[in-house]
């Protein structure tokens, strides 16, 4: 399942969903295919993703090029459900409070936010390549321990009914997820040696 929040009946009936920092949009595209009565808004700062999302030609999917670290182009209380995942390498520590406040602004009262992060310093037997990635991430000002800190940030931003759940995910042990991380390691192997590169936690909140 692509989500953990208790909203399946609402999705089947039809609600408005935001995929924050959607990347190339795989989550959005799978969800809008599975729940045709709901409308999905995919937002990312990279405009090239717009073509990828729009080429899928789903009537219930809209891509908007916008920076989630700035004011989102939506009114207050606009979405029933907000999804965001794996942006630990894209948000510096000082930006998290403003990002979460903005997500809560566009969330309807009683809506759900689901945040999934897999910080590199929580990986067991991390190995030399991910050790380098972790060090570079910290050097660039990104919060590698964000999954353990999101609850405090959400409380400070006014969220209530916050739940957290760690999920152990095996890497490089077969399956699509393991293959994805294998590709990541291959990319890191090809990077210049001197390049300054830089748990699935589920959070749901009622605003």
Q: Provide block-wise average pLDDT over 10 residues at a time, the chain (207 residues).
A: 91 98 90 96 85 78 92 97 89 90 95 84 66 75 79 89 78 54 46 34 40
Answering whether pTM is above 0.75, one says: yes
Q: Give the sign of the dihedral formed by CA 154, CA 159, CA 163, CA 168.
A: negative
Instruction: Give the CATH fold of the 8-119+146-169+199-206 domain.
Output: Rossmann fold (3.40.50)
**pLDDT, position 74:** 97
Tell me the C-alpha distance between 45 and 68, whole Å. 7
Judged by DSSP in three states, 169 sits in coil
**pLDDT, position 198:** 30
**pLDDT, position 201:** 33
**pLDDT, position 87:** 87
**pLDDT, position 205:** 42
**pLDDT, position 57:** 78
Q: Are strands 107-116 and 61-65 parallel, antiparallel or unpaired?
A: unpaired
Tell me the C-alpha distance between 126 and 107, whole Å. 36
Q: Which of 66, 144, 140, 138 minimizes the C-alpha distance to 102?
A: 66
Q: According to DSSP H, which parts of 1-87 are helical? A: 8-13, 26-34, 49-54
């Amino acid at each position: 399942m692509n989500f953990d929040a208790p909203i399946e009946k609402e999705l089947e009936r039809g609600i408005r969903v935001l995929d924050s920092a959607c990347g190339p949009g795989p989550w959005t595209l799978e969800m809008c295919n599975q729940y045709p009565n709901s409308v999905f808004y995919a937002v990312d700062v990279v405009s090239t993703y717009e073509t990828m999302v729009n080429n899928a030609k789903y009537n219930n999917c809209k891509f908007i090029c916008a920076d989630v670290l700035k004011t989102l182009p939506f009114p207050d209380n606009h979405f029933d459900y907000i999804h965001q995942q794996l942006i630990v390498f894209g948000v510096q520590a000082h930006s998290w409070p403003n990002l979460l406040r903005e997500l809560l602004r566009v969330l309807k009262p009683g809506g759900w936010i689901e945040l999934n992060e897999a910080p590199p310093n929580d990986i067991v037997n991390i190995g030399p390549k991910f050790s380098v990635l972790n060090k570079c991430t910290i050097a660039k000002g990104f919060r590698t321990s964000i999954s353990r800190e999101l609850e405090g940030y959400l409380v400070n931003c006014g969220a209530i009914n916050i739940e957290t759940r760690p999920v152990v995910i095996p890497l490089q042990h077969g399956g699509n997820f393991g293959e994805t991380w294998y590709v990541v390691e291959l990319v890191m192997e090809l990077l210049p040696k001197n390049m300054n590169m830089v748990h699935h936690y589920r959070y749901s909140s009622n605003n």
